Amino acid sequence: MLFAGSYPSQNWNYTAHSLIDTSLTNIVATIVGLAEGKHTQEAERCRLAYEEARTRYESLITALNEELCLVEKLFRSANQLRRANHLREFIDSFEQKAEEDHALTSDKQQ
């Protein structure tokens, strides 16, 4: 007895009244059909895996781009803060110098 495929499988009996040689064309056609079916299933499985990986990749790229934008914004904010602190230091220094100059001027006037 010869079987091809999973349940329900195709089978052929080899008996004195029924030789397998007479069914050889049918046997080969069944095996080729099963191979094509397996190939189609595997191609579909690969396509679905590719689509899933592509979707996951695109979502990761989107998340990465969003993170890069946030990092750039953070650097801009840090740069603005540094400039503001530098300006505050300059103003404080200028005011302190002006107060010292004013104090010296008032001492000279007395």
The model's pLDDT over 11-52, given as tens digits with 9 standing for 90+, comes to 656 666 666 666 778 878 888 888 898 999 999 999 999 999
pTM: 0.53
- Rounded CA-CA distance 32/27 in Å is 9
Which residues fall within 8 angstroms of residue 13, CB to CB, at 6 or more apart? 1
Structure tokens at 94: 């200028």
Range of the domain at 46: 2-109
Report, as an integer, the average pLDDT of 100-109.
68
Total tally of structural domains belonging to the chain? 1
Q: What's the longest Cα–Cα distance across the chain?
A: 139
Region for residue 5 given its phi and psi (left: phi exceeds 0; alpha: psi -120 to 50; beta: otherwise): left
Name all contacts of 107-110 with Cβ < 8 Å and 24+ positions apart.
none
The model's pLDDT over 70-102, given as tens digits with 9 standing for 90+, comes to 999 999 999 999 999 999 999 999 989 888 887
